């Protein structure tokens, strides 16, 4: 069951990133490495809904 939940989570992140024009691998690497140079997907969604999107 854990593998299924992980796969579902990764797929959701991947699909959201794609919709926002973010490269999934780069985003995941940024988060896993602890660098946090990129804005979170939540922040990008907020910016997208307000009509302003950061250039990544």
Question: Domain total for the chain?
Answer: 1
Residue 8 within any structural domain of the chain: yes
Is residue 56 over pLDDT 80? Answer: no
DSSP string covering 1-56, please? -HHHHHHHHHHHHHHHHHHHT--HHHHHHHHHTT---SPPHHHHHHHHHTT-----
The pLDDT assigned to 51 comes to 73
Residue 56 within any structural domain of the chain: no
Q: Which residue has the higher pLDDT, 53 or 22?
A: 22
pLDDT tens-place string over residues 11-51: 999 999 999 999 999 999 999 999 999 999 999 999 888 87
Residue 55 within any structural domain of the chain: no
The pLDDT assigned to 23 comes to 97
From CA 5, how far away is CA 13, in angstroms rounded? 12
* Domain span holding position 38: 2-49
Vertex 26, ends 22 and 32: CA angle to 5°?
Answer: 120
The pLDDT assigned to 38 comes to 97
The pLDDT assigned to 53 comes to 58
Residue 12 within any structural domain of the chain: yes
Considering just the CA atoms, what is the radius of gyration of the chain in Å?
A: 12
């Amino acid at each position: 069951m854990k593998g299924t939940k992980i796969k579902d989570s990764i797929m959701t992140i991947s699909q959201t990133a794609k919709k926002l024009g973010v490269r999934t691998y780069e985003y995941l690497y940024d988060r896993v490495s602890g660098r946090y140079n990129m804005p979170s997907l939540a922040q990008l969604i907020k910016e997208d809904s307000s009509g302003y999107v950061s250039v990544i």
